[in-house]
Amino acid sequence: MAENIFPYKAQKETLPNGLKVIMIPMETPGIVAYYSVVRTGSRDEVEPGKSGFAHFFEHMMFRGTKTYPGAVYDSIVTSIGANANAYTSDDITAFHLNFAKEDLERVIEIESDRFQHLSYAKPAFQTEAGAVYGEYRKSITQPFSLLNEKMQNVAYDVHTYKHTTIGFEADIKAMPEAYDYSKTFFQRFYRPENVVIVICGDIDPATTMAWVKKSYGGWEKGYVAPKVTPEPPQTAERTGDVTYPGKSLPIIDIAYKGDALDPNNRDFVAALLLGDLAFGENSDLYKKLVIQEQKVQFISPSIPPNRDTPLFEIYSMVKTPEDINYVRDEVYKTLESFKTTPVDAARLEGLKKRNKYDFLMGLDTPDHVAGGLARFVAITGDIDVVDQLYKTSDTITAQDVMNAAKKYFVPERRTVVVLKGAK
Amino acid sequence: MKTVAFCTIALAILFSVLPLQAQNMESNNNLILLPVNNDPTIAFRIWFKVGSQNDPVGKEGLAALTADMLSDGSTQKNSYEQIISKLYPLAAGYNASCSKEMTVFSGRTHKDNLSEYYSLFTDAILTPAFKQEDLDRIKSQTLNYLENSLRYASDEELGKAVLYQELFTGTGYAHVDAGLIASVKSITLDDIRKFYKEYYTKDNLVIGLGGGYDATLVKTLQNDLGALPSGTPKAPAPPVPNTPKGVRVTLVEKEAASTAISMGFPMDIVRGSREWYALAIANSWLGEHRNSSSHLYQVIRERRGLNYGDYSYIENYPNGGQRQLPPQNVGRRKQIFEIWIRPVPNEARHFALRAALREFKNLVDNGMTESEFDLTKNFLRKYVLHYAETTMDRLGYAIDDAYYGMSTGHLETYRKMMNELTLADVNAAIKKHWQYDNMQVAIITKDAQSFKDALVSDAPSPMKYATEKAQSILDEDKEISAFPLHIKPENIRIVPVADLFLK
C-alpha cells in the first residue's frame, strides 16, 4: 500500500446538523488558519438573471449580524490582527482568517454567528452591489476576463459553467433589485450540511471541537441542493471570436470538455499529467513555440478539478495574428501524437516527482495547507481525495496518458475562442 | 525516488525567535543566515546592489533585462531549454526581481534536491551565456508588457506608474523598472554584458541563505560567488523628486469604462525611524491595504459602494492588486505617500477624488483619536506577524534590514514600536510628514478634457445614487461634493495613453 502524500494527521468530526469539521494540528507555534468552505459557487446559480450571486453573497457575509454588526465584526477582526478575506469561484465560496492561536475561540464565535444570523438592510445590500460592480470594472480591462467570459458562454449550453464567477454584466447591474432573492440564497446555501470548517495550525483538537460544538451546534439544517442541469455531451466543434477594446496580442484558447474530479478515474488523472507533458514548461511544444521559434509569448495548459464537467484548456498568446492558425495546428498535432506515441517513461516519472515536491513544498504555513485543501473540500466534502489522487497518479502509465488523449482531446469535445485586440 | 522524504517533511517554525546572524564575509561581501533546522527546504536570496535607477539614459530597462537574462536565459553550461528540463522534476526554480535599487535572485529547493539545484542556481549568476535568442525572447515579453499590458490591461497599475513618473521626472525613479519602449528596443547584448560586468561583482552582493541548510553550504556558496570579479560600483545619488506646487493632475486619456485614481507626494522618511512607525499607524487607519476596516475603504466603498477598495501607503507597494501582504526587496531611499482609489464609475470620478482628499485633509488637520489609535496599533502588533510566515519571507525581510541599515529587524522594531508609540507621537508625525496642499494626482479616464474643465471650475460634483442611501450619507455627500480642490488649469495636463512609456 502506497504511503499517503499528505503529511499531517487530520481529525474529523461531523456535528448532528451535518457540519463537518476538519482539524489539522501543525507545529506552527502560535498561528491558526480558519477556513469556512461553502460548497457553493457560481455553479449553483441556476436561476436566470442571477449569475454572479454566489460571489455577491460572499461580499454580503461581511455586512454583519444583530449581535455583531458589520462595523463591530470588522473591529473584532482588526483587534486580533487577523489576516482575513474571502473568495468565490465556480465550485466554492471560502472565508478565511489567519490569526494568533489565543484568538481561536473568538474567531469561532464571530464566524459561527455570521453563518447563522447574517442580517442586513436593503440599503446596505444595494451599496454592496456597487462594490461588486466596481470589482467587475477593475477586472474587465484584462484580456483574459473577456476571453474566459466568451469561452464559457460558447462552450456550455445549459450548465451554469456557462457564466463566469463574477457573472454577466447585465446581471451585476440588476443586483440591487435582488434583495429578497438574496435572503433565499442565504437560507438555501449557508447551511451546515453545505459547509466544511477547516482549521489548521497550533490547535488542540479537543478544545477546538468543544468550542465549535458550542457555537455551531444550534445551526439548523436546511440546505436545498440546486438543480444544476447537466451539460449534454457536445457533438461538434464550436468556435468563437472576441475583440478586446484595448491593445493586446492575440490569445487562442483551445478547450475540450473533460470529466469532473474523480481520483479513481484513471482517464481524468492521466489528463492532469498530459496537460503538463504536452503543454507545460518542460514540453516539446513549449520549447518549440516559446524558446526556439519564439512565435508565442507563452503556452499553458489548464486541467482543473471540478464538481461537474470542466473545460480542459490550452492557452497561448501569439505574437502575430498570422500565426494563430499555425499555433492552433501545432496544438492539434501535439495532441494527435500523444494519442499514438507513448510518452517517455523518464519524463512521466519526472512529472510525478515534480508534482509531489510541488505539493509538499507548498504546505509551509497553516494558511497554505488549509487554502490548498479548500477547493478539494468544496468539490468532495473531504480531504481524502488528495491522497487518492496522488496514489492514482503514481500508477499512471504511458498507456493511460494515450487513453486520456484519445478520450478527451477530440474535435467533437472542442471549443476554440480567439481574442484579438482592437488597436 | 526518495519517497521516504515525503513522510518526514516538517514545517518551518513560525514566529518563534530564531537566530538571525549577520556577519561579514571574508571577501568583504555580506552574509545573512537564517537557519531553520526542521525546514525541509532551503531558501536563497542573492542581493545585488543595483536596480533600474542605474539604467543609463536611453537604455531604460537595462537593469531588468540583465537580471532576466540571468534568471530566464542560458548559461555557459546549459541552454535555457536544458535548464528548464533539469529544474522541472525538482519542482524548483529561481527568479530575479529588479526594482529601483535592488536586484535579488531568489530560489527555493527541497533539501533532497539541493545538489542538482545548487549548480543550476549558481551557474545562472556566475556564468550567463548572454545569447541573442534569449535576449530576443525576453525583450519581446518586456515590450508586450510595456506596449500592451501596462497601458491597456490594468488601469490601476497604469495609474500608479504615471504617478511615479510624474513625481520623479528626470530621475532614475521615473521610468517603470521594465524600461521605456524605445530604450528596450535599443538594448544590445553588449549593453547587457557591460552592465553585468560593472554591477554583478563579488563586492556588490549580499548572500541570504535560509532554511534547513548545513554549514558547508554557506562556505561553498561564499566561495563560489567569490569567483565574481571585484568592483564596487558607485550608487547614484538619491533622486530629487519633482514635488508639485499645489495639486497637479495628469489625466491619461483612454477609452476606459471607469476611472482609476492614484495620488501622492514625496516624503523624507524611510522605515527604521520612530516617526516612520508612527506614520505606519496613521496610514493603516487611513488605508490599510486590502483591509475593510480602514477609513478610506469605509467612506468610499463600504458606505457608498463606489468601487472595490481604497488604500494608502507610505512605502512603494508594487502589484498591489495581486497581493495581500507587503512585498520584500523593493527598498527605496526615497518613498512617497500614496493613495490608491480603485476604478470608480466615470460619473463619480470627481466626487471620489474629492472624498479621498477630504478624508486625508481631515486626518492631517485633526489627527487620530485615542480609540482609533488604540485599535490600529493593536491590529498592527499582531498583523505584522503575517508579513513573514515562511522562511523565504523572513529571509526577504532580513535582506531589507541590511538594505535599510537596521541592526534590529524591521518586524521586531514594528512590534516594539506598537508598544511604545503614543497618540501624540502619531499625530506629531502626521503634522511633520504629511500635507495636502501639494499633491500629484494621476487619473486614467475617458473624456479627459471634460474632466479637466470640471476640475478647473471646482464646481460642486453631486453624487447621484440609483438606490436608497441613509440621510447621514447624503448630508455628508453635500460637503464632499463641494470640497474645494483649487486646481489651476496650468497644473493639469492630458496625455493620450498611446504616448506613455515611449522613450
Q: Are residues A243 and A187 in the same domain?
A: no
Question: Is the same domain home to B162 and B253?
Answer: no
Whether residue B286 sits in one domain with residue B212? no
**Range A26-55 average pLDDT:** 94
A169 touches B at CB < 8 Å: no
Task: Suggest the residue from B467, B472, B476 to mutate for an interface test with chain A (most A CBs closer than 10 A).
Answer: B467
Say yes or no: B340 and B214 in one domain: no
Would residue A74 count as lying in a domain?
A: yes
d(CA A139, CA A172): 13
Contact B33, B210 (CB under 8 A): yes
User: What is the spatial distance between Cα B177 and Cα B164, in angstroms, rounded to a whole number?
Assistant: 11
Q: Are residues B214 and B261 in the same domain?
A: no
> Which residues of chain B lie closer than 8 angstroms to A98, CB-CB?
386, 389
| Cα→Cα distances A61→A98, A235, A359, A374, Å | 18, 41, 31, 18
Total domains, chain A: 2
Q: What local confidence, expressed as pLDDT, does residue B28 receive?
A: 40
Residue B151 is assigned to a structural domain of this protein: yes
**The domain spanning residue B428 has which CATH number?**
3.30.830.10
- For B121-150, the DSSP string reads HHHHHH-B---HHHHHHHHHHHHHIIIIII
How many residues can be counted in chain A? Answer: 423
Beta bridge partners of B251: B443, B494
The answer to whether B301 contacts A100, with C-beta atoms less than 8 Å apart, is no
Considering the domain architecture, whether residues B221 and B255 belong to the same structural domain is answered as no
Q: What is the pLDDT of residue B350?
A: 98
Residue A6 inside a domain? The answer is: no
Residue A319 has pLDDT above 70, yes or no: yes
The pLDDT mean for chain A works out to 95
Whether B153 is in a domain gets the answer yes
Examine the domain organization and report whether A400 and A350 are in the same domain: yes
Assess whether A88 and A209 both reside in one domain.
yes
B236 lies in some domain: no
Cell triple for residue A319? 505574437
Range of the domain at B486: 247-497
Task: Looking at the complex, report in whole angstroms how far the Cα of residue A353 sits from the nearest Cα belonging to chain B.
Answer: 6
A140 touches chain B (CB under 8 A): yes
Instruction: Evaluate the CA torsion angle A221, A227, A233, A234 in order and state its sign.
Output: negative
* Residue-level pLDDT at B433: 98
**Contact yes or no for A137 and B343 at CB 8 A:** yes
From chain A, pick out residues whose CB is under 8 angstroms from the CB of B133: 291, 294
Do B426 and B352 fall into the same domain? yes
Listed residue (B157, B424, B71) closest to B281, CA to CA: B424
Q: How many domains does chain B have?
A: 2
> Per the domain annotation, does A29 fall within a domain?
yes
pLDDT in tens, A386-422: 999 999 999 999 999 999 999 999 999 999 999 999 8
Q: Answer yes or no: is B253 within a domain.
A: yes
Q: Which of A264, A364, A358 is nearest to A8 (CA)?
A: A364
Q: What is the pLDDT, as a whole number, of residue B22?
A: 35
pLDDT beneath 50: ranges in chain B:
1-28
Is residue A315 in a domain?
Answer: yes
Instruction: Judge whether A379 lies within some domain.
Output: yes
Note whether B213 and B270 are same-domain residues: no
User: Does residue A223 lie within any of the structural domains?
Assistant: no
Query: Is A54 in the same domain as A174?
Result: yes
Percent of chain A at pLDDT > 70 equals: 99
Residue B231 located in a structural domain: no
- Does residue A192 sit in the same domain as residue A254? no
The verdict on A115 and A65 lying in the same domain is yes
List pLDDT tens digits, range B409-445. 999 999 999 999 999 999 999 999 999 999 999 999 9
Answer whether B59's CB lies under 8 Å from B183's CB. yes
Predicted confidence at residue A131, as pLDDT, reads: 87
Q: Is residue A376 part of a domain?
A: yes
Which sign does the torsion angle of CA A133, A135, A136, A140 carry? positive
Give me the pLDDT at residue B1, please.
27
> Which residues in chain A are closer than 8 Å to B155, comparing Cβ atoms?
138, 141
Please check whether residues B257 and B404 belong to one and the same domain.
Answer: yes
What ipTM is given for this predicted complex?
0.93
Best B152, B291, B351 member to test A by mutation, with max A CBs in 10 Å, is B152
CATH number, domain at A331?
A: 3.30.830.10
Task: Indicate whether B242 belongs to any domain.
Answer: no
Q: CB–CB of A291 and B81 under 8 A?
A: yes
Q: How far is A397 from chain B (nearest CA, A)?
A: 16
Q: Please report whether residue A78 resides in a domain.
A: yes
* Chain B residues with beta carbon closer than 8 angstroms to that of A122: 468
Give the domain extent around A190.
11-216
Instruction: Mark whether B11 and B126 lie in a shared domain.
Output: yes
Query: Are B189 and B289 in the same domain?
Result: no
pLDDT, tens digit, for every residue of A145-172? 999 999 999 999 999 999 999 999 999 9
pLDDT tier for residue A1 given thresholds of 50, 70 and 90: low
Query: A200 and A272 share a domain?
Result: no
- Whether B237 is in a domain gets the answer no
**Which among B11, B90, B293 has CB closest to A27?**
B11
pLDDT at B113: 94
pLDDT in tens, A86-143: 999 999 999 999 999 999 999 999 999 999 999 999 999 999 998 899 889 888 889 9
* 3-class state of residue A65 by DSSP: strand
Q: Are residues A187 and A43 in the same domain?
A: yes
* Backbone angles phi and psi of B53, in degrees to 5: -65, -20
CB-based contact, A74 to chain B, within 8 Å:
yes
Q: Measure CA B58 to chain center.
A: 24
Is residue B70 domain-resident? yes
pLDDT of residue A27: 84
The reply to whether B364 and B476 lie within a common domain is yes
